[in-house]
Amino acid sequence: MPKNKFVLVTCKIPPEMASAIDRLVEDKIFQSRSEAIRYAIGSLISTHFNKKGKESWIEE
């Protein structure tokens, strides 16, 4: 996938999670909900692949 291209993924989350994400945005931790969710997903994926001893999850 070319850099700086995004795929739209839709998911449902509990209202409490949405509120927590909104607080992160309000506190200027992230610029948007999307940025916060991308960060969280990236962190989860990196953790998973690090446990498997792989350097990167990004295919080149």
Domain-embedded: residue 41: yes
Report how many domains make up the chain: 1
pLDDT, average across residues 21-41: 98
Residue 31 domain boundaries: 15-46
pLDDT at 24 over 60: yes
37 CB contacts (<8 Å, ≥6 apart)? 21
How high is the mean pLDDT of the chain?
87
> Residue 59: its pLDDT value, please?
59
Q: Is residue 29 part of a domain?
A: yes
Q: What is the pTM of this model?
A: 0.74
Q: Which of 48, 26, 45, 25 is nearest to 36 (CA)?
A: 25
